[in-house]
């Protein structure tokens, strides 16, 4: 029998054997970056370049956007996005080496290095509708650079794009650029997660830089690597070919979303059998090959990226005539939709098979805690289902603006929908106000303030219709404690206590 010592350790093959480029491939002469411009002052461009300015006092960073209101907000006390720690970073460097502006031309002209951080939403029409990424914003930003630039620029693809987009950007720049202006394209996908963006940017797991394997390409990668080296350990800055870098971003999001859909698929089995998904995920997460992160069952993933990037991968697979691969990844998105339908069905059946006229207190509208972002939030779909069942909805979220909620809930193009909406949905200013007179509480976002250690659920129980239900779509509540107060508690991935086989 083999001794334990002689068994394979399971260690990952070292980088030197896996990466086509040695880690020292960028130890070559290169230009120092002194001025950076970022096109796109959104959830990625804003925090990323603010942190670059904060960590690199010798670099001047200008973040530009076509949207004046957004730039005005970045220049005000009320930043356009909420992210823990962001305000401190911005306020400490704004006006010193960090600037927000709508003067795109000047920022492009003056910069040595330009980040393209514009939006790449899913296409709404035409070929690839519903799947492919709409690269219109990337193309128009690239054309803008070509038109305005008068000197050499390093152009960095920061937006998430399909494989080989850098090639298209290069063609546009080379065929439209001014004589004498040379462009080097890099791919530098962003791996930050909203809600923890500043933490992720301060201590990234890795920084990925893709470039052409030419002397100019490697020198451009070295210039960008130097910027990150102001705070990221050199060995965590990885360089590789452009296409691997582009695909790595789509792959990372697909794998992360797949874990959520996998645990959510298991949550359905738990609910039907008496197993508890939190216990199952804890047990499997202890296996070091699996690991504990991204195994929390929930009402479904949201955010601007997971669905969009997987659909993008599905489209890419189909374009490459790989239908089985496309179908495999499509199922990750389908499972996410199914989880929302299943949760709604459970609410309906628990509330005696009808929601008509019942008041549901929906707690949370952001797609996850610690962000005000609502893109693809599960709450939007759930509220749509509740409305179809003629429920009355009282909604509370600590960070999302009221105008954003109305925007997300209204059916685009449907006349009078907002009037009908406002008859069915009320936005409240606290969880207590939402729950008063409600038949059920539905937890959609895992905000800490909704936990039973923060909210007074006895007080809430007293104001609700009886029987008072809680549907915990995020597994943040202590079920037994709330049952003791008198609530009927239904949690994702757990069967009803009285029905379990304990
Ligand atoms: P966003 O929609 O918040 O921001 C994009 C900004 O670009 C908008 O303010 C828009 O006005 C601006 N813009 C569009 N065209 C422009 C142009 N030609 N010149 C100047 N500004 C222009 O989008 P977000 O969330 O920042 O995402 C940007 C990219 O980063 C997307 O490709 C996304 O997939 C990717 N990404 C997003 C992450 C996230 O957590 N939001 C994480 C990692 C990557």
Give pLDDT tens digits for 244-256. Answer: 999 999 999 999 9
Q: What is the pLDDT of residues 396-407, one digit of tens each?
A: 999 999 999 999
Q: Count Cβ atoms within 10 A of the Cβ of residue 348 and give its class: 0-12 exposed, 13-18 middle, 19 or more buried.
A: middle
Query: 334 CB contacts (<8 Å, ≥6 apart)?
Result: none
Closest-lying ligand 1 atom to the alpha carbon of residue 144: 18
Q: How high is the mean pLDDT of the chain?
A: 94
> What pLDDT, on the 0 to 100 scale, is given for residue 9?
58
192 lines ligand 1 (CB under 6 A): yes
Mean pLDDT of 419-444: 97
In the 8-state DSSP scheme, what is residue 42? S
Is 270 a residue of the active site? no
Question: Which CA distances in Å does 122 have to 51, 138, 162, 201, 430?
Answer: 28, 13, 11, 26, 34
63 lines ligand 1 (CB under 6 A): no
From the list 210, 219, 209, the residue with the least C-alpha distance to 241 is 210
Q: What is the pLDDT of residues 69-116, one digit of tens each?
A: 999 999 999 999 999 999 999 999 999 999 999 999 999 999 999 999
> What pLDDT, on the 0 to 100 scale, is given for residue 86?
98
**Ligand 1 mean position to 121 CA, how many Å?**
9
148 lines ligand 1 (CB under 6 A): no
- For the chain, what percent of residues have pLDDT higher than 70? 96
| Secondary structure of residue 170 in the 3-state scheme | helix
Identify whether the C-beta of residue 36 lies closer than 8 Å to the C-beta of residue 49: yes
117 lines ligand 1 (CB under 6 A): yes
Active-site pick, 38, 49, 305, 444: 305
pTM: 0.94
Instruction: Tell me: pLDDT of 17 over 90.
Output: no
Mean pLDDT of 406-421: 84
Helix (H) or strand (E) holding 210: strand 207-211
Pocket mutation for ligand 1, best pick of 44, 188, 204 (most atoms within 8 Å of C-beta): 44
Please tell me the number of Cα atoms within 13 Å of 400 on its side-chain side: 28
Length of the chain: 502
Question: What six digits make up the tokens of 248?
Answer: 């790595």
Poorest-confidence range of 261-265, 349-353, 415-419?
Answer: 415-419
Question: What six digits make up the tokens of 25?
Answer: 């491939």
Q: What is the pLDDT of residues 446-476, one digit of tens each?
A: 999 999 999 999 999 999 999 999 999 999 9
43 lines ligand 1 (CB under 6 A): yes
């Amino acid at each position: 029998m083999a001794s334990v010592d002689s068994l394979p350790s399971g260690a990952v093959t070292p980088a030197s054997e896996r990466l086509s480029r040695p880690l020292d491939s960028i130890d070559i002469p290169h230009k120092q970056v002194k001025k950076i411009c970022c096109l796109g002052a959104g959830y990625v461009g804003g925090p990323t370049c603010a942190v670059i300015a904060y960590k690199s006092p010798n670099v001047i960073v200008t973040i530009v956007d076509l949207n004046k209101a957004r730039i005005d907000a970045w220049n005000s006390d009320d930043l356009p996005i909420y992210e823990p720690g962001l305000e401190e970073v911005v306020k400490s460097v704004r006006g010193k080496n960090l600037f927000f502006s709508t003067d795109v031309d000047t920022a492009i002209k003056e910069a040595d290095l330009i980040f393209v951080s514009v939006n790449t939403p899913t296409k709404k029409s035409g070929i690839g509708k519903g799947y492919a990424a709409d690269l219109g914003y990337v193309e128009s930003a690239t054309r803008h650079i070509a038109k305005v630039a008068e000197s050499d620029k390093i152009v960095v693809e920061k937006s998430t794009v399909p494989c080989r987009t850098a090639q298209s950007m290069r063609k546009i720049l080379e065929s439209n650029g001014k004589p004498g202006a040379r462009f080097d394209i890099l791919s530098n996908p962003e791996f930050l997660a909203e809600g923890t963006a500043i933490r992720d940017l301060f201590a990234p797991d890795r920084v990925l830089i893709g470039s052409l394997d030419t002397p100019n390409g490697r020198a451009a990668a070295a210039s960008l690597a130097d910027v990150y080296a102001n705070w990221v350990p050199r060995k965590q800055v990885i360089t590789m070919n452009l296409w691997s870098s582009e695909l790595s971003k789509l792959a990372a999001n697909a794998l992360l979303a797949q874990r959520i859909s996998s645990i959510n698929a298991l949550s359905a089995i738990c609910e039907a059998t008496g197993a508890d998904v939190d216990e199952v995920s804890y047990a499997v997460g202890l296996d070091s090959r699996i690991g504990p992160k991204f195994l929390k069952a929930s009402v479904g993933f949201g955010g601007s990226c997971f669905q969009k990037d997987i659909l993008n991968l599905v489209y890419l697979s189909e374009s490459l005539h790989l239908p089985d691969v496309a179908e495999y990844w499509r199922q990750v998105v389908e499972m996410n939709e199914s989880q929302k339908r299943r949760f709604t069905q459970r609410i309906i059946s628990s509330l005696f098979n009808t929601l008509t006229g019942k008041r549901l207190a929906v707690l949370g509208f952001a797609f996850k805690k610690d962000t005000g972002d609502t893109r693809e939030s599960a709450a939007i779909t759930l509220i749509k289902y509740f409305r179809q069942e003629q429920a009355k909805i009282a909604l509370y979220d600590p960070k999302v603006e009221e105008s954003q909620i109305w925007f997300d809930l209204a059916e685009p193009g449907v006349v009078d929908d907002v009037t009908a909406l406002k008859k069915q949905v009320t936005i409240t200013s606290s969880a207590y106000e939402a729950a008063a007179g409600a038949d059920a509480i539905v937890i959609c976002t895992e905000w800490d303030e909704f936990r039973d250690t923060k909210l007074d659920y006895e007080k809430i129980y007293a104001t609700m219709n009886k029987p008072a239900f809680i549907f915990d779509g995020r597994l943040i509540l202590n079920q037994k404690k709330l049952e003791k107060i008198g609530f009927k508690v239904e949690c994702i991935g757990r069967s009803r206590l009285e029905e379990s086989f304990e």
